[in-house]
Copies of this chain bind each other. A is one copy, B any other.
Amino acid sequence: MGETSHFLDLFFNPKSVAVIGASRNKDTVNYFLVSNLVNLGFPGKVYPVNPNAKEIMGLKAYPRVTSIEDDVELAVISVPARITLDIVKDCVAKKVKGLTIIAGGFSEIGAEGRKIQDEIRRLLQENGIRAIGPNALSPINSANNFIVGFRPTTKLPPGGLSFIFQSGLYQPRLEWLLNQFHLNMAKLIDLGNKMDINEVDALEYLAQDDATTVIAMHLESIAGDARKFMRIIKETTRNKPVIVLKSGRTVAGAKAASSHTAAIIRSTDAVVDAALKQTGAIRVSGLDEFFDLAKAFEYLPLPRGNRVAITSYSGGEGVFTTDCAQLQGLELAELSKETHRKLSEVFPPWEIPINPFDTGVAGQFHSFDVVNSFVEAIVDDPNVDCAAIQVGIPPQIASSSTGNKLLKPYTDLIAKGRPVALWAMDPDISAGMTKDLEAHRIPIYPSAERAVRALGALWRYKLWREK
């Protein structure tokens, strides 16, 4: 299936979009609804709708969606809940094909809000109009810069990672995700109150979306057909990893989930967990792990085997990292004779074990970067399937003149199908090199345990695929 065959494609690739509630006031968040589309060069037609403006960001503004002369495929609605119903009626009259309702104040606030939401749903169903939300953010598509958001956003680095979010879990950190975190995103969909479109639709769409190579999904409740949902995951994981963070796992969590979204939690966590286990989904238990693995799967190839090469700045950290690796199902690689010969040139004046390799002790006797020498030495070693590398010396990496040269052994490893995960000596060093490394799809993590956990997840997914 190509992209255009699924009804959800409209919400990511509209030819024409009305932005209802757009503002020309730069001090309001609604200013950015249109400004990002214009500044980033979204190629579709954009119609700002605002009864008090003639023009917004150089585009003609319209008092109502019905005043727009041309056809409108998609409407994005960001106005107070109390007037949303009238706006929806306008959209029905205009014969828009899809609606994204950003506004909150519906089922999540109680009976009164639910009543309006139910009326909107009835109206849309009668007219065959599909809708995301309410209480959702607008979907994001990095391929065409379709970003209708509340914050200024820079051009997103293109990539294969697509997100499905529920209940605003990611919203507080959206700005950071989009602007600071090198996640190389294809698409993002936030489901909000799931009045119409739900997690099954979103998953089905991303499963067949060619731009999406990795799906990372936050799941709080299953509103759609749970059997179909599990079946799609199982089919998808043959080709694309599906990372799942399920919340509402505990009794208290499920109760909190129910009260904040008014969703009915129909399946207990144990049932969902048992079903997910059969699907090959990569289930994570925390947000750190969720983003760590999303990054690893987007950046890196799957390893051919489970043999890992490790280097660290202290023998103690090498031991600790070896433990982490074995607990993740990885085995220490027996490095080849040729690698041993190469590494003997970076030994201290005595012979040291080569895996895990202690660059701290070796580095005391050499003026060159021993970590780079280690990575160069293992690039062609047929016994190495993946590598966990502790790095230091951020100024070298950060220097643009020599940066690429220093990154080469890492990109070579990856190009040869060997995933590599880095961590730094301390958080300050890590902060100083993250941008350069991750622009080259070399992931760096805050600690050895997290670097190795990412490699372990790649390996276990590889095993699942081959099963």
Contacts and interface: CB of A to CB of B under 8 A. Distances in A.
A450 B165 CA distance: 21
Q: How many copies does the complex hold?
A: 2
Interface residues of A, number: 78
16 contacts: A105-B350, A168-B315, A169-B319, A171-B316, A172-B425, A180-B427, A247-B319, A248-B323, A250-B322, A250-B326, A250-B327, A252-B325, A257-B319, A261-B315, A288-B446, A446-B446
Interface in A277-323: 285-288, 312-320, 322-323
A2 interface: no
A202 interface: no
Interface stretch (A31-39, A234-242, A355-363, A436-444): A355-363
Contact of A326 (B253, B350, B429): B253
A408 interface: no
A110 B349 CA distance: 11
A168 B316 contact: yes
Contact of A172 (B285, B325, B360, B427): B360
A251 B331 CA distance: 10
Interface of A: 104-105, 108-110, 112-113, 165-173, 175-177, 180, 218, 220, 245, 247-253, 256-257, 259-261, 285-288, 312-320, 322-327, 331-332, 348, 350-353, 356, 358, 360-361, 390, 392, 425-429, 431, 446-450
Contacts of A176: 425-429
Interface centre among A326, A360, A390 (most CB of B within 10 A): A326
Contacts of A353: 256, 259-260
Contacts of A177: 426
A104 B177 CA distance: 45
Contacts of A286: 324, 447-449
Contacts of A447: 286-288
Contacts of A352: 109, 260
Nearest to A289: B449
Given A108-B315, A253-B326, A313-B171, A247 B449 contact: no
Q: Which of A175, A256, A350 is the most central at the interface, judged by chain B CB atoms within 10 Å of its CB? A: A256
